[in-house]
A and B are shown apart, each in its own frame.
Chain A
Amino acid sequence: MLDRGSPDRPSTASHCLADVERLLFVEAQHLDDKTWETWADLYLDDAHYWVPSWLDEYELVADPDTQVSYIYHTSRAQLRERIGRIQSRKSITALPLPRTLHVISNIVLTERDELSVDARSSWTTHVFDPRTRRQHLHFGTYEHRLVRNADSYRIARKKIVIMNDCIPTVVDFYSI
């Protein structure tokens, strides 16, 4: 039998797959439900939120200080800035807002220490724009670094790789 982990069994010595999965799924739900303030609360104050671009067909950007990313934030305040822009209803990218649906799978944990774990997963986001009736799909991988405090995880880092990187019109935190 393949070991896929299970809710009642720790997937690494210190971290249970079900706990990590719950955090990832809750994050996705907040994004889709547009409860973005609560979404941002999942991040630590100094969290890194990184969406690298591609150097060519095969290689991803590796160094945000010498190469271009779609988004590279190093604090939760920058996420809140993005949220505020959308919620102000002054940005027409939000008029109307698209409906999104995140699906996350293939979660693999790598333990860092008792309090910290890395989770790599696969994601797809379906995006439907009620204005144009167009829909598109983004897909890629997430790399979360989670830190446990008491009985809950917070996000210290999240790297989002977009595999289909010819972007239709707009991409923002809610659609990836």
Chain B
Amino acid sequence: MNIHHPRERLIDDRPSDKAFHVSRDAFTDPDVFELEMTRVFEATWSFVGLETQIPRPHDYITTFIGRQPVLLMRDGEGRIGCFLNTCRHRATMVCPFKRGRQKFHVCRYHGWAYDSAGRNTAVTDKADGQYPAGFDQADRNLLPVARLESYRGLIFASLSADVPSLYDYLDDARTFIDLVADQSPVGQLEFVPGDITYTFDANWKLQFENGLDYYHFNSTHSSYVDILAQRARSGDATGFTTELADEVEGQGSFNFRNGHAVNWSIKKQVRYGRALASDPAGLAEVRSRVGDIRLKWMLRQRNLTIFPNLQIIDISSAQLRTWRPLAVDKTEMTSHCLAPVGESAEARRFRIRAYEDFFNPSGLATSDDNVMYEFCQTGYAARAGHTLGHLRGLDRGQGTRGDHARELGIAPIDDAFGGSGFGGETNFHPGYREWRRLLEGGAMEAADA
């Protein structure tokens, strides 16, 4: 691998010149992809699951961090552990299932056993093994990840110890996790059961960008916009929300440290309902608990990206999606319908229908995004110089409104606000800056360890 001066070659970031360009190679070069795996995905915090996915002792799920298989489970005392899903004997994947509940995981190859705390409890026929001296003292337990922490029930793991605390890593993006979690009377989030997995033949960063890209909505999703308009005319206004008269309509974003960002919009007239607003009693309960300002923000569209591979989209429904890059031009997506624990059956039904309507390869909006990523991937192969896709908002035409951040009590490192058609692109920048920092070796020690 030989990337000379990647700062100049992959990203051209000159704030004083109001320039920001991402090289086409970032999307097409297999060598960049290799570096992304070791220095980004396998070297910083990754979302691995919800605490509510493994509520009881011995519950487990399996997933991946970058390319590495992991087993996330609770031990007999209810403590959560996350381990590389590989037998210490001959590397076999210890647990082949997506989820379940077991006190012990027995490797099917030679029968080595591990308990739900990851401890090696049996080596088959050890006494007959003629093992060298020291074998008994050697660490044969499942290898834990370097760091494992939770925020509001969202569990993150890092294969590198060289990361800040999760709390500091998330920075004020935490507030936008709170705005989802606090919709629950018990402050907890859960996945509505039902697995959705899909792939697209394009680079993962197209998904990263799309989740922060307000600009594409009316063009990419014009067929969906037509459907929303038609439905609004037909008169069902369940869950529709309004803004106070003195709110200025527009679209904005906040940038946070470590690559995270959120975009949001203030619309006087929304053409879709929201699960939270579909249940007046539930809405009143939330208002009494969080107050008018937080509730107002809960009812606004918010697309949150936690770098490098978590997005929480809170619109008519809520989606939590993660991605696993499989190759420079192939990405596997996992999508969940995210829900507050304890919402009413009516609100839950509304949430599920709205989720199916919009998201997933079968939804009326996400399916267009997936195809668009593939159009982009094909287009990126053209040697047509740098693109002009990361510039909206660099000139701050309408300036920012610091009061948006102030009323939420957050201190973003940057923000943007414009008219309804703004769709700024500067909220992609923190992710790309963190990406470049990591690629340049911010986590080299961990990757090489």
Q: Which residues of A contact B (CB under 8 A)?
A: 51-57, 61, 64-72, 81-82, 84-85, 88, 90-93, 132, 134, 165-172
Contacts and interface: CB of A to CB of B under 8 A. Distances in A.
Given A67-B194, A85-B227, A172 B367 contact: yes
A56 B360 CA distance: 17
A70 B199 contact: no
* Closest 3 pairs (CB-CB, A-B): A68-B194, A90-B223, A167-B198
Given A82-B364, A85-B224, A167-B361, A68 B370 contact: no
Contact of B374 (A51, A57, A91, A169): A169
A88 B225 CA distance: 12
Interface in B194-213: 194-201
Contact of B223 (A71, A85, A168): A85
A5 to B, nearest CB: 33
Contacts of B349: 65-66
Contact of B362 (A67, A84, A85, A172): A172
Contacts of A170: 361-362, 367, 370-371
Given A85-B224, A85-B227, A65 B198 contact: no
A39 B200 CA distance: 29
A61 B198 contact: no
B109 interface: no
10 contacts: A53-B194, A55-B194, A61-B194, A67-B194, A68-B193, A81-B227, A167-B196, A167-B199, A167-B362, A169-B199
Nearest to B362: A70
A67 B348 contact: no
A85 B230 CA distance: 12
B115 interface: no
Contacts of A71: 356, 362
B371 A90 contact: no
Contacts of A70: 196, 356, 360, 362
Q: How large is the interface on B (under 10, 10 to 19, 20 to 34, 35 or more residues)?
A: 35 or more
Nearest to B335: A68
B352 A169 contact: no
Given A57-B97, A72-B353, 18 more contacts: A56-B98, A64-B352, A65-B352, A66-B349, A66-B352, A68-B192, A68-B352, A70-B356, A71-B362, A72-B356, A90-B222, A91-B367, A168-B200, A170-B362, A170-B367, A170-B370, A170-B371, A171-B362
Nearest to B231: A81
Given A54-B194, A56-B98, A68-B337, A169 B370 contact: yes
A79 to B, nearest CB: 12
B151 interface: no
Interface in B346-373: 348-349, 352-353, 355-356, 360-362, 364, 367-368, 370-372
Nearest to B365: A91
Given A71-B362, A85-B224, A92-B368, A169 B198 contact: yes
Contacts of B337: 68
A65 B372 CA distance: 31
Contacts of A134: 201
A135 to B, nearest CB: 13
A88 B223 contact: yes
Nearest to A88: B223
B345 interface: yes
B427 to A, nearest CB: 24
Nearest to B332: A166
> Taking each of A65, A68, A170, which has the highest tally of chain B beta carbons within 10 Å of its own beta carbon?
A68
